[in-house]
Chains A and B, each alone.
Chain A
Amino acid sequence: MGWEEVQVRGYPEFVRTAQSYHGRAIFALFCGDKDAEGRSWCPDCVTAEPIVRKELHNLPDESVFIYCLVGDRAYWKDPNNEFRKNLKLTGVPTLLKYGTPQKLVEEECFKGELVRMLFTED
Chain B
Amino acid sequence: LFLKKHKGSNDTSQYHLQALIEAAKYGKKVMVLDFVTPTPQGSSWGLGGTCVNVGCIPKKLMHQAALLGQALQDSRKFGWHFTEEVKHNWMTMTESVQNYIGSLNWGYRVALRDSKVTYENAYGEFVGPHTIKATNKKGIEKLYTAERFLIATGERPRYLGIPGDKEYCISSDDLFSLPYCPGKTLVVGASYVALECAGFLAGLGLDVTVMVRSILLRGFDQDMANRIGEYMKDHGVNFIREFVPIKVEQVEEGTPGILKVTAKSTTGDQIIEGEYNTVLLAIGRDPCTRKIGLDKVGVSINEKTGKIPVNDEEQTNVPYIYAVGDILQDKLELTPVAIQAGRLLVRRLYAGATTKCDYVNVPTTVFTPLEYGACGYSEETAVEKFGEENIEVYHSNFWPLEWTVPSRDNNKCYAKIICNIQDNERVIGFHILGPNAGEVTQGFAAAIKCGLTKEQLDSTVGIHPVCAEVCIQSHLKVTSKSCIHGILG
List residues of chain A with CB within 8 A of the CB of B114. 111, 114
Chain B nearest Cβ from A90, distance in angstroms: 12
B102 & A121 in contact (Cβ 8 Å cutoff) = no
A102 & B106 in contact (Cβ 8 Å cutoff) = yes
Give the dominant DSSP class at A's interface. Answer: mixed
Q: In chain A, what residue has the closest Cβ to B119?
A: A117
Chain B CB within 8 A of A23 CB = no
Q: In chain B, what residue has the closest Cβ to A100?
A: B102
A108 & B110 in contact (Cβ 8 Å cutoff) = yes
List residues of chain A with CB within 8 A of the CB of B102. 100-102
Q: Which residues between 14 and 56 of chain A lie within 8 Å of chain B, taking CB atoms?
A: none
Give the dominant DSSP class at B's interface. Answer: helix
Cα-based distance from A117 to B110 in the complex (angstroms) = 8
Chain A CB within 8 A of B103 CB = yes
Chain A CB count within 10 A is highest, among B99, B102, B106, B109, for: B106
A121 & B109 in contact (Cβ 8 Å cutoff) = yes
List residues of chain A with CB within 8 A of the CB of B106. 100-103
In-complex Cβ contact of A114 among B99, B100, B105, B110 (8 A) = B110
List residues of chain B with CB within 8 A of the CB of A101. 99-100, 102-103, 105-106
In-complex Cβ contact of B113 among A100, A102, A103, A114 (8 A) = A114
Q: Which residues between 65 and 122 of chain A lie within 8 Å of chain B, taking CB atoms?
A: 100-104, 108, 111, 113-114, 117, 121
Q: In chain B, what residue has the closest Cβ to A103?
A: B106
Chain A nearest Cβ from B106, distance in angstroms: 5
A113 & B113 in contact (Cβ 8 Å cutoff) = yes
Q: In chain B, what residue has the closest Cβ to A97?
A: B106
Chain B nearest Cβ from A98, distance in angstroms: 13
Q: In chain A, what residue has the closest Cβ to B105?
A: A101
Cα-based distance from A102 to B106 in the complex (angstroms) = 6
Cα-based distance from A94 to B60 in the complex (angstroms) = 30
Chain A nearest Cβ from B44, distance in angstroms: 12
Chain A nearest Cβ from B117, distance in angstroms: 12
Cα-based distance from A101 to B109 in the complex (angstroms) = 12
A-facing mask of B109-144, CB < 8 A → 1, else 0?
110011000000000000000000000000000000
List residues of chain A with CB within 8 A of the CB of B113. 113-114, 117
Chain A nearest Cβ from B337, distance in angstroms: 28
Chain A nearest Cβ from B115, distance in angstroms: 11
List residues of chain A with CB within 8 A of the CB of B109. 117, 121
Chain B CB count within 10 A is highest, among A101, A102, A108, A113, for: A101
List residues of chain A with CB within 8 A of the CB of B99. 101
Q: In chain A, what residue has the closest Cβ to B98?
A: A101
Cα-based distance from A23 to B59 in the complex (angstroms) = 32
Cα-based distance from A117 to B112 in the complex (angstroms) = 11
Q: In chain B, what residue has the closest Cβ to A122?
A: B121
Q: In chain A, what residue has the closest Cβ to B104?
A: A101
Chain B nearest Cβ from A105, distance in angstroms: 10
Chain B nearest Cβ from A82, distance in angstroms: 20
Chain A nearest Cβ from B55, distance in angstroms: 19
Q: In chain B, what residue has the closest Cβ to A108?
A: B110
Q: Which residues between 374 and 414 of chain B lie within 8 Å of chain A, taking CB atoms?
A: none
Q: In chain A, what residue has the closest Cβ to B100?
A: A101
Cα-based distance from A104 to B113 in the complex (angstroms) = 13
Cα-based distance from A104 to B114 in the complex (angstroms) = 12
In-complex Cβ contact of A104 among B100, B103, B105, B110 (8 A) = B110
Q: In chain B, what residue has the closest Cβ to A105?
A: B110
Chain A nearest Cβ from B455, distance in angstroms: 49
Chain B nearest Cβ from A15, distance in angstroms: 19
Q: In chain B, what residue has the closest Cβ to A116?
A: B113
Cα-based distance from A69 to B408 in the complex (angstroms) = 53
Cα-based distance from A121 to B119 in the complex (angstroms) = 12
Q: In chain A, what residue has the closest Cβ to B116?
A: A113
Cα-based distance from A117 to B105 in the complex (angstroms) = 13
Q: In chain A, what residue has the closest Cβ to B107?
A: A101
Chain B nearest Cβ from A68, distance in angstroms: 20
Q: In chain A, what residue has the closest Cβ to B99?
A: A101
Q: In chain B, what residue has the closest Cβ to A113?
A: B113
Chain A nearest Cβ from B77, distance in angstroms: 33
Chain A nearest Cβ from B400, distance in angstroms: 34
Cα-based distance from A103 to B103 in the complex (angstroms) = 9
Q: Which residues between 407 and 452 of chain B lie within 8 Å of chain A, taking CB atoms?
A: none
Chain B nearest Cβ from A46, distance in angstroms: 22
Chain B CB count within 10 A is highest, among A103, A104, A113, A117, for: A117
List residues of chain A with CB within 8 A of the CB of B105. 101
Cα-based distance from A108 to B103 in the complex (angstroms) = 15
Cα-based distance from A103 to B99 in the complex (angstroms) = 13
Cα-based distance from A103 to B105 in the complex (angstroms) = 12
List residues of chain B with CB within 8 A of the CB of A113. 113
- Known A-B contacts: A100-B102, A104-B110. Give 18 more (CB < 8 A): A100-B106, A101-B99, A101-B100, A101-B102, A101-B103, A101-B105, A101-B106, A102-B102, A102-B106, A103-B106, A108-B110, A114-B110, A114-B113, A114-B114, A117-B109, A117-B110, A117-B113, A121-B109
Pick 22 A–B contacts, CB within 8 A, sort by A: A100-B102, A100-B106, A101-B99, A101-B100, A101-B102, A101-B103, A101-B105, A101-B106, A102-B102, A102-B106, A103-B106, A104-B110, A108-B110, A111-B114, A113-B113, A114-B110, A114-B113, A114-B114, A117-B109, A117-B110, A117-B113, A121-B109
A-B residue pairs, 8 tightest by C-beta: A101-B103, A101-B102, A102-B106, A101-B106, A117-B113, A101-B99, A113-B113, A114-B113
